[in-house]
Amino acid sequence: MGRALFTYQACLDPLKPPTFKCEAGHVVCGSCRVSHGQACGCAATTIACPDVDAFVREAKVPCPHYH
């Protein structure tokens, strides 16, 4: 699977549980949930995504600061 699947496109950080999905279908982590609501016109309501949390917990994403 590609790294982009596990990265929130607004902040470009890897997703971390708990994850949520907005009405437009965007998946965001808990720390970006509030700021996403301001950026997305369809983000008034979010729902928890335990199925995505399971994938995110198991994903191995390389550290962007490792050289």
Q: What are phi and psi of 7, to 5 degrees?
A: -125, 130
- Residue bearing tokens 């950080």: 13
- Residue bearing tokens 């729902």: 47
CATH class of the domain whose range is 3-58:
alpha beta
pLDDT at 16 over 70: yes
Q: How high is the pLDDT of residue 54?
A: 92
> How far is Cα of residue 36 from the mean position of the Cα atoms in its chain?
10
- What is the rounded distance in angstroms from the CA atom of residue 57 to the CA atom of residue 18? 10
Distance between terminal CA atoms of the chain?
Answer: 22
> How far is Cα of residue 58 from the mean position of the Cα atoms in its chain?
14
pTM: 0.71
